[in-house]
Amino acid sequence: MNSATANASSSQRLSAQNLQALLDSVDAFLFDCDGVIWKGDVLIDGVAQTLDMLRSKEKKLAFITNNSTKSRRQNAEKFCSLGISVTEDEIFTSSFAAAMFLKVNNFPQDKKVYVIGGEGILEELQLAGFAGLGGPEDGKKTAQLKANCLFEHDKNVGAVVVGIDPHINYYKLQYGTLCIRENPGCLFIATNRDAVGHMTNLQEWPGAGCMVAAICGSTEKEPILVGKPSTFMMDFLLQKFDISCSRMCMVGDRLDTDILFGQNAGCKTLLVLSGVTNLPTLQDPSNKIQPDYYTSKVSDILEFMGP
Amino acid sequence: MNSATANASSSQRLSAQNLQALLDSVDAFLFDCDGVIWKGDVLIDGVAQTLDMLRSKEKKLAFITNNSTKSRRQNAEKFCSLGISVTEDEIFTSSFAAAMFLKVNNFPQDKKVYVIGGEGILEELQLAGFAGLGGPEDGKKTAQLKANCLFEHDKNVGAVVVGIDPHINYYKLQYGTLCIRENPGCLFIATNRDAVGHMTNLQEWPGAGCMVAAICGSTEKEPILVGKPSTFMMDFLLQKFDISCSRMCMVGDRLDTDILFGQNAGCKTLLVLSGVTNLPTLQDPSNKIQPDYYTSKVSDILEFMGP
């Protein structure tokens, strides 16, 4: 009990009293999307008005999601369809991060990238000038298991990118495994390692952590992680905003990705309880990740401002 | 170089000189199957004659395989089809081990077992009196991902058994994940964790370690391992043979399962180089698992006996 109390006391509940101090101390708010901005395809109440208010106070906004299914462009379309105006360059997806990782590491343009995951990864790779293969079109393929059967794979694949894939199958696992085990120097990149994701409103479903672990299991290798809690994406935010990390606040619903990302980068952190984390989990003695602030949902920021 | 030499010297190459000492020191030979007895569906040369010779010297024989695809009965049929006479009760599969684990731990008969893997696991569960579901018939099912979609799973599932599954899909991963995450006390049992297996003669393909890791990734739990290198199966061997482990020799092609299993159980160990391990791997300084003896193939035992 003492330990739980001590833990809880290290995070402040956001209130009308401490909100102004938070607003004064930061110039940019970084938002996770799922469980923060929306749940599945439904906007969370009051988000639009809260973002408008923050923009009116000249706060910079960015949206940082581990969901690799969509590209930046596809995410901007989703924001638009929900009535929120966000530009592509305010969006940082783990699919974009994977493509940028290859770019900043001078991945050869004549090498290919095998994708276990969604269309968003392939689109970001293409925008960055890389040739992707695999992805959704391999979802219908099957591996033939017969004596003397040889599974052919492209020897020119120099990286395998793994993200969440609801169409995972043995063909894709074998293709990715062969590239990593047999192509010399082939990179193994994980968009993220979330154990589960809110793919529907009602339940948690296996996330990218499931597919990434499968490839770890067959290759006996650990991946390069580019999504949260890795701070790889922060370099691109810093380029865009020219604001120091200490004057940014990361707002998210997940302790081990969002809040840890914010802490790893030296940002202030605000946990919202509108997604996967509830108050008992935050205050459980076993939880070692404490945000600076917590509140029930993003629109509390607006409510605490008063009339 | 010194380290490699030291390592290599801790294993003896089997020879006409030291074979008799090995034969005198053991009363039972335990054989792994794939890469030792056969490769895929092809018997390795000289195996039949070698087993006959060992039986003629009144050595007990047992066959211990991590391959969970087949039941004991199905494996006996495979031996028979290859011209080798082996009885069901000389065969110890990881599918049998999974069923026996539930039995010795008094798994309630009114609970069910969800299977990610092959028909062999379902058959062994049924023989042990347990109700299995999943397995091959879930290979064609797909998970619907829509807003407000609820994936129903059987709340009466009390154990999930995961083995190699060439028909792995998101439906099975979600089913197993939900049982482990949401059914109180649900067990997570791995038949084995081999990274890859010889499913064809020409290549290595993702093994049970791939599917097991996927479920670890989505459940954030570690499994109970019943196959090699766990010595769980040894209790059943001891019941059958009434021979002390120190008078058994484990013969296998894999260091981290077969040889480690033999060492964990206190058996003598013989590595054959007819499967996944080659001499450079055995003698690499990074390899810490050294068998008592190594040789190129099982029939060397016969050859070294001389005429």
pLDDT in tens, A160-189: 999 999 999 999 999 999 999 999 999 999
pLDDT of residue A278: 94
Q: Residue B101 pLDDT more than 80?
A: yes
Question: Of B9, B36, B72, which is closest to residue B277 (Cα–Cα)?
Answer: B36
For residues A91 and A75, give the distance between their C-alpha atoms in angstroms, rounded to a whole number: 7
One domain, residues A117 and A221: yes
pLDDT at B6 over 60: no
Contact between chains at B170 and A165 (C-beta distance less than 8 A): yes
ipTM for the whole complex = 0.92
Residues B42 and B134 reside in one and the same domain: no
Query: Does a structural domain hold residue B261?
Result: yes
Q: Is residue A75 part of a domain?
A: no
Which residue out of B82, B193, B203 would a mutagenesis test of the A interface target, given it has the greatest number of A Cβ atoms within 10 Å?
B203
Q: How far is B173 from chain A (nearest CA, A)?
A: 7
Number of domain units in chain A: 2
Q: What's the rounded Cα separation, in Å, for the pair B269 and B252?
A: 8
Catalytic residue among B24, B27, B32, B300: B32
Quickly tell me which residue has 């707002």 as its tokens: A251
Contact B217 A215 (CB under 8 A): no
Q: What is the pLDDT of residues B145-161, one digit of tens each?
A: 776 788 999 999 999 99
User: Region B98-117: what's the mean pLDDT?
Assistant: 97
Question: Annotated binding residue at B292?
Answer: no
* Averaged pLDDT, B89-114: 97
A300 is catalytic: no
Same domain, yes or no, for A134 and A214?
yes
- Shared domain check, A101 and A219: yes
Q: Is B239 exposed, middle or buried (0-12, 13-18, 19+ CB in 10 A)?
A: exposed
Q: Which of A226-235, B119-128, B199-208 has the lowest mean pLDDT?
A: B199-208
When pLDDT is averaged across residues A281-286 and rounded to a whole number, the result is 95
The pLDDT of residue B145 is: 74
Q: Check whether B58 has a pLDDT greater than 70.
A: yes
Q: Answer whether residue A1 shows pLDDT above 60.
A: no
**pLDDT digits over B71-98, tens only?**
999 999 999 999 999 999 999 999 999 9
Tell me, what's the pLDDT at A98? 98
Cβ contacts of residue A11 below 8 Å, gap of 6+?
A: A271, A282, A290, A291, A292, A293, A294
More confidently predicted of A269 and B199 = A269
The 3-state DSSP class for residue B67 equals coil
- Distance from the Cα of B104 to chain A's closest Cα (Å) equals 29
Per-residue pLDDT at B278 exceeds 70: yes
CA angle A210, A216, A219 (to 5 degrees): 140
Inter-chain CB proximity B174 and A150 less than 8 Å:
no
Q: Is A89 annotated as a binding residue?
A: no
Is position A34 annotated in a ligand binding site?
yes
- Choosing from A191, A209, A225, the residue where a domain stops is A225
Chain A residues closer than 8 Å to B205 by CB: 143, 145, 151, 174, 177
Q: Which of A149, A203, A210 sits opposite B214 (nearest CB)?
A: A210
The pLDDT of B26-49, averaged and rounded, is 94
Contacts A–B by Cβ distance under 8 A:
138
Closest CA to A130 of A107, A97, A156, A153: A107
Query: A145, A194, A203: best mutation site toward chain B, by most B Cβ within 10 Å?
Result: A203
Q: Is A32 known to be catalytic?
A: yes
At B173, is the pLDDT very low, low, confident or very high (cuts 50, 70, 90)?
A: very high
Tell me which chain A residue has its CA closest to the CA of residue B199: A145
Q: Note whether B206 contacts A173, CB cutoff 8 Å.
A: yes
A170/chain B closest Cα distance in angstroms:
6
Query: Are residue A221 and residue A262 in the same domain, yes or no?
Result: no
Q: Are residues A216 and A246 in the same domain?
A: no
A115: left (phi over 0), alpha (psi -120 to 50) or beta: beta
Of residues B168, B200, B210, nearest to A147 (C-beta): B200
* B181 with A204: Cβ contact below 8 A: yes
Residue indicated by tokens 């894999």: B254
For residues B112-137, average pLDDT: 97
pLDDT tens, position by position, A39-90 = 888 899 999 999 999 999 999 999 999 999 999 999 999 999 999 999 999 9
Q: What share of chain B has pLDDT > 70, as a percent? A: 96
CATH number of the CATH domain containing B262? 3.40.50.1000
pLDDT at A113 over 90: yes
pLDDT bucket at A237, cuts 50 / 70 / 90: very high
- The answer to whether residues A33 and A51 belong to one domain is yes
Question: Is it the case that residue A200 has pLDDT exceeding 90?
Answer: no
Is B34 assigned to a binding site?
A: yes
Residue B200 lies in a domain: yes
Percent of chain A past pLDDT 90, that is, above it, reads 87
Per the domain annotation, does A80 fall within a domain?
A: no
Whether residues A247 and A266 share a domain: the answer is yes
Whether residue B121 sits in one domain with residue B201: yes
Res A2 pLDDT > 60: no
| Domain match, A102 and A221 both | yes
Answer yes or no: do B284 and B195 share one domain: no
Which of A225, A248, A273 lies at the terminal end of a domain, its last residue? A225
Last residue of a domain, one of A162, A195, A225: A225
Are B157 and B240 part of one and the same domain?
no
The DSSP bridge pattern shows strands B42-43 and B38-39 to be antiparallel
The structure tokens 């209790």 sit at B235
Contact status, residue A101 vs residue A236, Cβ threshold 8 Å = no
Q: Is A121 within a domain? A: yes
Could you tell me the residue range of the domain that residue A111 belongs to? 96-225
